[in-house]
Amino acid sequence: MKLITFYGSRGLRIVKGENQYVWDDKGKKYLDLHSGHGVAFLGHRNKRVVEYIKSQMDEIMTLTTAFDNPIREEMLRELDDVKPDGMDNVFLLNGGTEAVEMAMKVARKTTGRKKFIAFRNSFHGRTMGSLSVTWNKKYRDPFEPLVGPVDFLEFNKIEDLKKIDNETAAVIFEPVQGEGGVIPATNDFAKALREETQKKGVLLISDEVQAGFGRTGKVWAYQHFNITPDILTAGKAIGGGFPVSAVFLPDDIANRLGEGDHGTTYGGNPLAAAAVTAATRVLKEERVPEQAKVKGELFMRMLRDALADFKSLREIRGLGLMIGVDLRLNPGLAIKVLQEQGVLALKAGITVIRFLAPFMITNQDMELAVNAVRKGVSETESKGGT
């Protein structure tokens, strides 16, 4: 029997994880700045999350949201402190793409419109709806026709926002584009986007599956821009490593949804609710967003100082602990060298080394990563980026 993966093999057999580190089957230790595409932001096997899931397993594991349950009630109380502004309603699903699918359905149901607008270099998922608002044609083309109509505008180009029209149900955007190259929105662009969508009666969906839940230095990435979206999708870090995603909605939207408008078999199961409860406590009590802000600023400063003399360096950018090293060369070799040096990273866009560090990363870890990326970029330059 063979496992279908859809991802190229990294040539490692990982057998253990603890906080910001993983170990392979030969006992070699790695600093994990890949973190499962950002899932392990609260660390591998975060003790508080693991203990809460274990405790819940002794009670009940499977229960649909048609039945009330104490752990879900506890989760809602914890989330109340960190919920997006004005969004008193949440629906739990299993992964980020499901959250985007629901957000798109909600937009169509509540506006009566069909059209969506997304942005170039966006990534929102790989199921049919979320794929339709994902920019990369390599992902989309084999599966056309997808959900439409969809228009793609230039990210961070204010003039393009005039193309938002009265036929649009929703604009979906990432406050920091992840897969597309770790590209933060500009303040002026985010403000203009919010103004234009409100003017046209268009819903604004903030897709924070990767950027949300503390990673960028605030609980939610949209908070950097002093705007409030209409719908927010979350995932990855929100479960502390357990598969769970969420859609947050305000009353005026949630109250227009009815029984049967959406559903899920596993979404909101007691184990997921326990994971979200514990993860939210960690987020608050360990001041995770504040740590991400301080450490992210330090990490980017160290990277800029260490890489300033490389001709291939285009830019180092990001927010909090969502960081991209943009090169003028293919970063594949550099990522391989990083791995050989005991640092796991991943690619973003065409030319970017992406770091999605767990929040407990230390100064010593950063030094290891900086030295490794210097070596990786040096070898990449010497071989012309091949």
- Residue 44 pairs with which residues in a beta bridge? 19
Residue 329 corresponds to which tokens in the numbers above? Answer: 């060369």
Q: Measure the CA–CA gap between 331 and 234, rounded to whole angstroms.
A: 28
Quick one: which of 58, 89, 86 has its CA closest to 71?
58
Tell me the residue type at 320. G
First to last CA, the chain: 34
**Is 207 labelled a binding residue?**
yes
**Is 208 labelled a binding residue?**
yes
Query: Cβ(373)–Cβ(47) under 8 Å?
Result: no
DSSP string covering 276-320? HHHHHHHHHHTTHHHHHHHHHHHHHHHHHHHHTT-TTEEEEEEET
C-alpha 48: how far from its chain's center? 22
- Residue 249 pairs with which residues in a beta bridge? 89
**Is 96 labelled a binding residue?**
yes
Within 13 A of 192's CA, how many CA atoms are on the CB side?
15
Residue 15 corresponds to which tokens in the numbers above? Answer: 């057998």
Question: Looking at residue 143, what DSSP letter applies?
Answer: G
User: Order of strands, edge to edge, in the sheet holding 322-327?
Assistant: 313-319, 322-327, 352-356, 346-348
**Is 210 labelled a binding residue?**
yes
CB atoms within 10 A of CB 148: 12
Query: Cβ(42)–Cβ(19) under 8 Å?
Result: no
**Is 68 labelled a binding residue?**
no
**Is 197 labelled a binding residue?**
no
Q: Measure the CA–CA gap between 29 and 25, rounded to whole angstroms.
A: 10
Q: Measure the CA–CA gap between 80 and 343, rounded to whole angstroms.
A: 36
Tell me whether strands 203-208 and 168-173 are parallel, antiparallel or unpaired. parallel
Q: Measure the CA–CA gap between 44 and 160, rounded to whole angstroms.
A: 41
**Is 264 labelled a binding residue?**
yes
Residue 276 corresponds to which tokens in the numbers above? Answer: 């979200």
Query: Cβ(61)–Cβ(269) under 8 Å?
Result: yes
Residues at the binding site for pyridoxal 5'-phosphate are 96-97, 123, 207-210, 265
Residues at the binding site for substrate are 126, 264
Residues at the binding site are 96-97, 123, 126, 207-210, 264-265
